[in-house]
Structure formats: C-alpha cells, structure tokens
Chains A and B, each alone.
Chain A
Amino acid sequence: MAEQPVKRVTDIGPPHYEKFLHPLIKKNYGNWKFHESMAPGVFFHESESGDRIYTVRAGTPRLLSTQTIRAFADLAKKYCGGYLRFTSRHNVEFLLDNPDNIEPLKADLTKIGFPVGGTNNSISNIVHTQGWVHCHSSATDASGIVKAVMDALYDRFTHEDLPAKLRIALACCLNMCGAVHCSDIAILGVHRKPPRVQHDSLHKVCEIPNVVASCPTGAIRPATTEDGKKTVEVVEEQCMFCGNCFSVCPAMQLNDPENDGISIWVGGKVSDARSQPTFSKLAIPFIPNEPPRWPGVVNAVVNIVDVYAKNAKKYERMGEWIARIGWPKFFELTGIPFTKYHIDDFRFAGTTFARSAQIRL
C-alpha cells in the first residue's frame, strides 16, 4: 500500500498565550491592583490578593542569534520557572515570583552583556527596521545606527533621570516599517535623488500603468525609448523621493551612496497622557551616512536629548516641552539651523504655518 502523505496543517494561528503564562499571572489575570518601581528596569505588580509578580527588563539588539535566545531561556529557567516575555520595544522581560532572584538575575544579565533598564523616565530601546542587514529600499542601515546611538545613550537606558519618558525610533526609509512618525526622536533614512529608470528592463519586470499610478505627485509618465521600448520618464522637479515607485517596480532604482542619508524628527507621541498624540516634526533635514559609527547622527541625537533633559520640566515629553518654549527657542537651544526645508510645502501645508501674532520675543 502506498504511504499516505502527511496531512498538511495550515491556518492554526498563533499558539494560545495561556500556555506561556507564569502561574502567578494566570492566577491574578485581570486582578492586578497597582505597580511600583524598584530600580531602573525592575518593578513589581501587586494583585488584589496581595500576590506580587516581579519584572526585570533588559535591552537587546533586536537582531538575536538562537544562542542568545537560548541563553535568555536558560536564565528564565534558572530564576523564574522558565517564564519570560518580550516588549513592543525589543526588550526582554523576566517574570519572577521570588524577589531574592532579582539581583542574581541582574548580575547574570550584566555578565552576558544585556543592560537592565528602559523603564519610566529613561530612554527605552530603539524601535527599528532592517536596514542594510535585510532590506532592498533602505536609505541607511538600521542596526548599526541603533548600536552607535545606544552606546552613547547607555546611561539614559540604565537611569531614570529624564523629565519624562523618551522614545526613539528608527526607520531606514519613508516606508517606515517602524512607524517612527510619532516618536520623541525619530531617525529616518531619506533618499534625495529621483529614481534612475532602467529603460532596458522596465518593460520586462513592471506594469507601466502601475508605475505611473504609484507616484503621489504625478511625476511619472509613460514614455518610449529611442529604440522603441515602452518605459516611463520622471519629471525630476516633482519628485520628493518617497520611493513608492521603487516599491512597485525594481527598475526604478533609488538607492544612492552619496545622496542617501538620515533626517531627524522630534516631538511626537502616541500616548494620550496630558496632550493628544502628535506627529514628530522635522529637526534636521539631512545628515550623511557615516558608517560604521555614524558620528553625525549620534552627536545630533545626544545633543537634542541633553538640551531636552536640561530644560524640560517634570512630566514634559519632548513635544510638550517644545510646545511650551516654542520652536524658535528649540532651534536656538539646540543650535540646529532652521531652513526653508523645515516649512511644509506638501498638501495642506498651511496647517503648520504660524497663523497668529502670538510670538515669544
């Protein structure tokens, strides 16, 4: 008899989370009463029943080898019955029922190079994208810049001495896989040259109407080459380098070693606490790519953080601080030059113009 093929399993979805919950969490699910910080990166939650679950949070580089994941699993086995989780900002959290295990766990984490912190008024881990490690449209690297910036801001991760929490995110192009556009500080890879149309291959690999329709400013038109090939042409002064045409068509080459680089945006937030969610605003239009340690970006971010830390009041997020002091003061204090590129000229640009005579003079 012929062997029956194994039935292919599909559409099972993720495993049910309940299987992975610490017994104490399962027991007190939905019955937590309050939480309290114990040290940077360490806090506990107490339930109505008086049970306490302790959390130790450590930063990771997001890109992890299986060896490191296994090392985390071993630590969880050793100190907390094998229960751990990750956060939305790429931190790892160990969930303990015995507070005596906190210090030994911290010591072990430090020994293998993972810093404990990232809570409350610290700079938590940088949400980021793939960059040159794995992406085709990246205008810059991601992991390398994050590493260089976090090396410089290491003490801000392990201490909670900022006026409020500060969230940094990095996206390596305007697609923003990291949705960085509502961060206290956003590091954003930018292209600055129109796409170079590969006329020889475009008609073979792309649908021309799709390429034309992909352009938000109508800068792409159908065209024919001198030797009769169907292709497109780009009205270069209408291009704002969004890269959408490259996303739909590989023959619209955009990456450019000399002109790609980084922009810095500030003052966004997603939380509703105090003020409503806001987008980050342009602070620095362009910093060149400077691998391997990106000194321009590192210095720019550290400068903004330092000026904010020195001048903001307690509880003020970056954007709330700037709203109080005004943008002219922000540019003055940070020493960042203000240029015509800071003034919006895309759709409905007027909403960000100063439309009142209320000016701090």
Chain B
Amino acid sequence: MADTKHETKLLDELEKGPWPSFVKEIKKSAEKNPVGHDLLGQLELSYRDKISHWKHGGIVGVMGYGGGVIGRYSDVPDQFPNVAHFHTLRVNMPSGWFYTSDVLNKLCDVWEEHGSGITNMHGSTGDIIFLGTTTDQLEPTFADLTANGFDLGGSGSDVRTPSCCVGKARCEWACYDTMKLCNDITQEFQDELHRPAFPYKFKFKFSGCANDCVAAKARSDLSIIGTWKDDIQQDDKAVAEYAKNGLDIQKDVCNHCPTKCMDWDGSKLTINNRECVRCMHCINVMPKALRPGKERGATLLMGAKAPILQGALLSSVLVPFVPEDELMDTIKELVDRVWDFWCEYGKNRERVGELIQRVGMGNFLDAIGLDAIPEMVSAPRDNPFVFIQTDEQEAE
C-alpha cells in the first residue's frame, strides 16, 4: 500500500483550538495505516471543492446478513486508491455503552488488523462505528468480532440497533431496567436486526425516565419511557435542607410545575400526586429530596422519526403505563401486531409513524387491536370530517 502523504493545508486549520481535533485523530491513525493519509487527502479535496467525494453506497455485507455494513466508494479513486473502497461496519455496542479497558483494546486489535483504525464512538444510532475497510476484509473482521463476543448492528430496512440510557446501572431515576430490556429485545430480534424485511427502518429506544437521555421520543419508532404510578417519594427533611441552602422552592420548583400540582407554604411542600404528569422537573432540581414513586414501569409511545419523508414526527402515546415486569411480553406482543400491519400495508421507505398518519390512528388502533383512550391525544379532533364506518351505523 502506497504511503503517500497529501498536502492538507485547509484541514491543518482544524488542528488548532482547544477542542479535541478529529484531524489529529485521522493523522494518528495514518501513522499505523496509510489509509488515513488518503482519507485526509480526499477530505482536503472536499474542503477545497465544497462537496462530498463519496459515491452513493453499494451493496456489500457479510454472508447471511443484509445489514450492518454500509458500502462506500470514492469518486476520485485514482487520486486516493487506498480509500477507493471504504466501507463502514456497525458493531452492536453493549447496553449503556459500558466497556472495560481490556475489551476496548481487543476491539482496537480487530480494527487495526482489518481496517483503517478509525472509529466513531459512537454512531448516532449508538453502534460502535468501524470507519473504512475493503470488501475482502469484511468477513475476516466479522469473524474476529464474533470470536470476541461482538456482532454487527442494523442498517437498511430492519430493526436498527436498539439503544438505552444508563438506567439502573448509575441512575436513581430509572423506572425500569433499561439496559436489561434493551439487551433482551436486541437478542430477541436478532433475525429482524440482521435481515432487512420491513418497509423501512424500525428503532427501539429505552429511556428510564421522562428526561429521555437517548432522545427516544424524538427518533424511535417505539419509545419506551420510564414512569411511575404511585406518589413521588418525598423526604421533607431533605426538602427543608434545600430551602435552607438557598433554593427558592416556590420560584425554582413550584412555579415550573406544568400542572401546578405543588404547594410550598414556606416550610412544607405538598404535592397533589393525582395531578402530577411525571415531568421530572422537581425531581431534577431536588434529587436528594424527591424521587420517582415505587410502582414503576413505562409509557409506550410510537412513531417518532426525522423529516424524511413526510415531515418529522414525535412519538405519541399508545400505552400509558406498563408495569416493569410486564414490559418484555407487552412489547413483544405489540411489535408483533404492528409489524404485521406495517409489513402488509406500509409503502417502501414508509416509517410506522407515517403509516399511522396515512391510514389514520383509528384504523391503526383497529389493526393492532388496541382501544382508543383519551391518554392518546392532547385533545379530541376539532374538525367534523369523521370517517364513520358504515358497519357501525348498521349495527346501531
């Protein structure tokens, strides 16, 4: 492999300044593998031309899988032959992105042997990203990954690599075991993850409370958000301690409550828990005094996505509360019904959220066998154009 350094006058500007530099990272990689020099060379050309020099992907992968590898080819391979093929592998991360030094070193060994040595920690979906290798190295990389206990993640029209917040491992607010559920769901749907058979992608994201540290409500087809049913656990002594230490409980806590369900009389905080919407603000501000209740579980919301194609959507409520110990079974049954309907009626590249918009939530609920309940809407419809079904009229 030719070890050609290219001039990188523009990129060198991005080595300056206090924030850690990705250009330095690529240069470090190039010390071990000259692929990095050609990547820098092509990127420098992009900086000059103000345009990407990657071609549209191609279909590459490992045997038996339809996802997990993103094909990538240079549109200037003559100038930068070492990145003529520069494919990405998505490697399924462990729940919560926890590692030991030893396992990280092993992953590095694999990637230094078979690829550029350049990674993303992590990709937006959550995978460990191995950035840049050739087609002939895909199988050997995969073999070494599985030998070390790792597998590929999702890509294309399949279950995308599920991700979760840190949950019970290091957070007192986790209303269910996000890491376990994420891992269990990932293992349960290995076939759906590796072999694309859907109209488009399907994302699961698990957040232990409404703070939603993995942005499930904004970007996952099924958003599992931890919540509780009983009363906020309240330690009055600790509340008084916060007040003594200068927290203005009326202004900083009560006034920000979205349902105004809290009263502070200067010495005692009273919460009307039946009017609480579990927004987390008061708990966020006073973590020593207030904690989620003890009867914990999750709200299931469906349909979030980025703008492509009909516009961005946030997930909306399907099931207001599922107790923690019923989450696995409920989710399995729910996605089974949703996927059945989506696979039959979904159009090419249509996410579940868009399908719901197209067929109507009422029809979608009928299809998956859920009853309409007021928790599903912010308000009932305000237009009179109701598609009343004729068989229901006849039944009256």
Say whether B246 faces chain A, with CB atoms less than 8 Å apart: no
A135-B54, A141-B46 known; A178-B212 Cβ under 8 A: no
Query: When the two chains form the complex, which single residue of B65, B104, B146 contacts A72, counting CB atoms closer than 8 Å?
Result: B104
Shortest distance in angstroms between A326's beta carbon and chain B's nearest beta carbon? 19
Q: What mask results when residues 1 to 36 of chain A are scored 1 for a CB within 8 Å of chain B, else 0?
A: 000001011111111110111000100011011111
Q: Does A119 contact B (CB under 8 A)?
A: no
Contacts of B25 in A (CB 8 A): 61, 63-65, 68
- A182 and B218 alpha carbons, distance in the complex (Å): 7
Q: How far is the CB of B342 from chain A (nearest CB, A)?
A: 17
| Surface stretch bound by A, among B115-123, B328-336, B359-367 | B115-123
Contacting chain B: which of A99-107, A223-231, A265-273, A329-337? A265-273
Q: Which of A92-150 contact B (CB under 8 A)?
A: 92, 95, 113-115, 127-138, 141, 143-144, 147-148, 150
Q: Which residues does chain B contribute within 8 Å of A315, judged by CB atoms?
A: 252, 256, 281, 285
B257: chain A residues within 8 A (beta carbon): 274
Q: Is the CB of A257 within 8 A of B51?
A: yes
A179 to B43, CA, bound (A): 24
Q: How many B residues face the partner with a CB closer than 8 A?
A: 128
Whether B22 pairs with A279 at a CB distance below 8 angstroms is: no
Looking at the assembled complex, report how far the CB atom of A182 sits from the nearest CB atom of chain B, in whole angstroms.
Answer: 4
Bound complex: CA of A154 vs CA of B53, how far in Å?
Answer: 30
Q: Which of B17, B183, B310 contacts A151 (CB 8 A)?
A: B17
- CB neighbours (8 Å) of A218 from chain B are none
Q: Which residues of B from 1 to 48 have beta carbons under 8 Å from A?
A: 10-11, 13-14, 16-26, 28-29, 31-32, 39, 43, 46-47
How long is the Cα–Cα vector from A30 to B179 in the complex, in angstroms?
Answer: 11
Pair A17/B98 contact, Cβ less than 8 Å:
yes
Contact A274/B256 with A13-B151, A115-B19 known, Cβ cut-off 8 Å:
yes
**A222 touches B (CB below 8 Å):** no
B177 touching A179, Cβ below 8 Å: no
Instruction: Pick the residue among A45, A67, A257 that contacts B28 (CB under 8 A).
Output: A67
A193 interface residue, CB < 8 Å from B? no
The 3 closest A-B pairs by CB, nearest first: A151-B17, A250-B56, A176-B306
Which residue of A has the minimal Cβ distance to B93?
A14
A21 contacts across to B, CB distance below 8 A: 98, 169
Please list 20 pairs of residues, one from A and one from B, whose beta carbons are closer than 8 Å in the complex, sorted by A's number: A10-B64, A33-B172, A67-B31, A69-B119, A76-B100, A84-B98, A84-B100, A86-B122, A88-B97, A88-B215, A115-B19, A115-B20, A132-B54, A144-B14, A144-B22, A176-B308, A274-B257, A289-B50, A291-B10, A292-B13
Q: Are A63 and B119 in contact, with the CB atoms below 8 A?
A: yes
> Are A61 and B101 within 8 A (Cβ)?
no
Contact B103 A20 (CB under 8 A): yes
Known: A14-B151, A15-B150, A68-B25. Is A133-B43 also a contact (CB below 8 A)?
A: yes
Most chain B CB within 10 A, of A8, A36, A128, is at A8
Instruction: Point out which of A55, A176, A214 has the most chain B C-beta atoms below 10 A from its C-beta.
Output: A176
- Assess whether B47 is in contact with A85, with CB atoms less than 8 Å apart: no
Known contacts A67-B32, A85-B166, A291-B10: does B54 contact A271 (CB below 8 Å)?
no
Chain A proximity of B333: nearest CB distance (Å):
21
A140 to chain B, nearest CB (A): 8
Asked whether, in the complex, the Cβ of B18 is within 8 Å of the Cβ of A151, the reply is yes
A133–B131 alpha-carbon span in the complex (Å): 9
Q: Considering the chains assembled together, what is the distance between the CA atoms of A248 and B285 in angstroms?
A: 47
Whether A347 lies near B314 (C-beta < 8 A) is no
Residue of B nearest to A216 (CB): B309
CB-nearest residue of chain A relative to B8?
A: A292
The answer on a CB contact under 8 Å between A10 and B105 is no
Q: B389 within 8 Å of A by Cβ? A: no
Residues of A close to B219: CB separation below 8 A: 179
Question: Do residues B187 and A13 form an inter-chain contact, with CB atoms below 8 A?
Answer: yes
| Assembly CA distance A69 to B99 (angstroms) | 11
**Known contacts A9-B147, A29-B168, A65-B28; is-contact A179 B124 (Cβ 8 Å):** yes
Q: Which residue on chain B has the smallest CB distance to residue A313?
A: B251
Scoring B18, B46, B50, B117 by chain A CB atoms within 10 A of each residue's CB, the highest score goes to B50
Given contacts A32-B172, A65-B117, A77-B101, contact A132 B256 (CB under 8 A): no
By the criterion CB–CB under 8 Å, are A272 and B212 in contact? yes
Contact A66 B43 (CB under 8 A): no
A24 to chain B, nearest CB (A): 10
9 more CB-based (< 8 A) A-B contacts, given A53-B170, A65-B25, A143-B22: A13-B183, A14-B150, A17-B96, A30-B177, A131-B52, A157-B19, A271-B212, A271-B280, A277-B217
Q: How far is the CB of B203 from the nearest CB of chain A, in Å?
A: 9
Cβ-based interface call for A242 (8 A) = yes
Q: Which of B16, B186, B349 contacts A14 (CB 8 A)?
A: B186
B236 contacts partner chain A, Cβ-Cβ < 8 Å: no
- CB-based nearest A residue for B119: A64
CB pair A84 B19 closer than 8 Å: no
Closest to A120 in B: B284
Supposing A11-B191, A67-B32, A136-B72 touch, asked if A62 and B306 sit within 8 A by C-beta, the answer is: no
**A175 located at the interface, meaning its Cβ lies under 8 Å from any Cβ of chain B in the complex:** yes
Q: Is A208 an interface residue (CB 8 A)?
A: no
Interfacial chain A residues near B277, Cβ < 8 Å: 272
* A180→B120 CA distance, assembly (Å): 18
Residue among A21, A128, A292 facing the most chain B CB atoms (10 A cut-off)? A292
Whether B111 sits at the interface, judged by CB under 8 Å, is yes
For the complex, is A174 an interface residue (Cβ under 8 Å from B)? yes
Most buried by A among B20, B29, B257, B280: B20
A23-62 contact mask (Cβ, 8 Å, vs B): 1 or 0: 0010001101111100000000100000001010001111
Distance in Å: Cβ of A102 to nearest Cβ of chain B: 16
* Cα(A173)–Cα(B150), bound, Å: 31
